[in-house]
Structure 1
Amino acid sequence: MTAPRQAALFDLDGVLLDSAAAVRATLAAVATCATGRRVRPGDLPPDALRRPRCEVLALLDVADPDYACDRWWDGAMSATPIESFPCVLSGLLALRAQGTATGAVTLQDPDRVRWLLPQALSELLEVVITRQDAPPKPAPDGLRLALSRLDVTPERTVFVGDSPSDMTAARAAGVVALGAVWGWHPPAALRAAGADHLLPEPASIGPSLLRHLPLIDSA
């Protein structure tokens, strides 16, 4: 009998995409446009990447962060090229080569994803679920939608994320929660949010992810 299909799902920013510098630069640029004074990435709070962007902008004296993001975010974000972390492409290729389904569940908007994702990475993801496709994490809806589109069961799926909300969503969806410690949140926060295992580096992405799946008798 053929073994049931397996899936590896991922967050984008901080997991597949090395976007930290771009996001910090974008926050500074939006704050500069909104306030009329020069804001540099070094002026951001140290935990800027772990806070909602509108909260960070409010701390930088932006009067209407939502409006500022609508007006300037995408233009500023597109100015800084974003690449995948080292080993990500080869790891995804190896997963696909052995028949594992791959996908991403992200807080990004669909229009932004179209130009944000490097083409080589986009071609290795069978499905990308955005915040407009389902309620965003920590709700599990996006993960469940990805599983439905891939026709894979939760117990045969791992989700790699770098935030507490990623871990919460994974646990609620019934998939194995893997914390990426190379991302934007510290290991302790991932453990506290329910990570089943912590992954040390982007090179962890590959077929070895599936060893964290529970043993299931497929006979």
Structure 2
Amino acid sequence: MRTTLAAVATCATGRRVRPGDLPPDALRRPRCEVLALLGVADPDDACDRWWDGAASATAVHTFPGVLSGLLALRLQGTAVGAVTVQDPDRVRWLLPEALAELLEVVITRQDAPPKPAPDGLHLALTRLDVTPRRAIFVGDSPGDMTAARAAGVIALAAAWGWHPPAALREAGADHLLPDPTSHLPPIDSA
């Protein structure tokens, strides 16, 4: 219940609200009263829009090795971002906090046409000030591979996702990453 309240407040306010931000007696108060205390302008509307989705979502965890890999990239000065087909309200509570903190830019379907169009990747590259030939895009779907190729970036397929490696290769993957701890190929340094 506390996690669901925090997720709904996050979606409604546009800022991350954690279960620890709730008042100590949150579970003894009506949910709309708690949401109002958290700064939600229209708690009834917020519950109508996000309650069911937030309540049914299980805790989201990253694959082992993803956070440490992204942190290593950031520590060496590599720009890191995400391009997703999710909408921004869902992304705010869907991304684990530790992952969200490592991302310098997050492009959603409201920022640019969704993948397989390359527009979101182009926007991310612009915001990160990175040229396509110095970029890698890791994705787990054929649409991700198509978008990466169309954007002119190296397409790395997360072979541990939902799609079989053959489908990812057929869609244009330059390399397959067998698991989240796989090492990335070198990028053109010129």
Indicate whether the TM-score tops 0.5. Answer: yes
Q: CA deviation at 1:179?
A: 0.5
Q: CA deviation at 1:209?
A: 1.6
Q: Which has the larger radius of gyration?
A: 2
**Partner residue, 1:102:** 80
How many residues in Structure 1 have an aligned counterpart in Structure 2?
A: 142
Is it true that 1:209 corresponds to 2:184 in the alignment? yes
**Partner residue, 2:62:** 84
Higher mean Cα deviation, 172-181 or 71-80? 71-80
Aligned to 1:123, what secondary structure does the other structure show? helix
Q: Mark the runs of 5 or more structure 1 residues left unpaired by the alignment.
A: 1-70
**Partner residue, 2:115:** 137
Q: Give, in whole Å, the separation in 2 of the partners of 1:146 and 1:193.
A: 21
Tell me, yes or no, if the aligned pair for 1:158 and 1:177 is still in contact at 8 Å: yes
Q: Give, in whole Å, the separation in 2 of the partners of 1:74 and 1:180.
A: 31
Q: Mark the runs of 5 or more structure 2 residues left unpaired by the alignment.
A: 1-47
Distance 1:188 1:162, change over 3 A: same
- Residue among 148, 160, 181 paired with 2:159: 181
Q: Give, in whole Å, the separation in 2 of the partners of 1:137 and 1:78.
A: 28
Q: Give, in whole Å, the separation in 1 of the partners of 2:84 and 2:51.
A: 16
Q: Give, in whole Å, the separation in 2 of the partners of 1:152 and 1:78.
A: 38
Indicate the structure whose relative CO is greater, using CA pairs within 8 Å and at least 6 residues apart: 1
Q: Give, in whole Å, the separation in 2 of the partners of 1:140 and 1:102.
A: 17
TM-score, structure 2 normalization: 0.71
- Residue among 122, 140, 152 paired with 1:162: 140
**Partner residue, 1:63:** none
**Partner residue, 1:197:** 175
Q: Which amino acid aligns with 2:100?
A: S
Q: Give, in whole Å, the separation in 1 of the partners of 2:76 and 2:173.
A: 25
Distance 1:102 1:124, change over 3 A: same
TM-score, structure 1 normalization: 0.62
Aligned to 1:209, what secondary structure does the other structure show? coil
Distance 1:78 1:96, change over 3 A: farther
**Partner residue, 2:52:** 75
Tell me, yes or no, if the aligned pair for 1:74 and 1:112 is still in contact at 8 Å: no
**Partner residue, 1:29:** none
**Partner residue, 1:41:** none
Distance 1:125 1:74, change over 3 A: farther
Aligned to 1:178, what secondary structure does the other structure show? strand
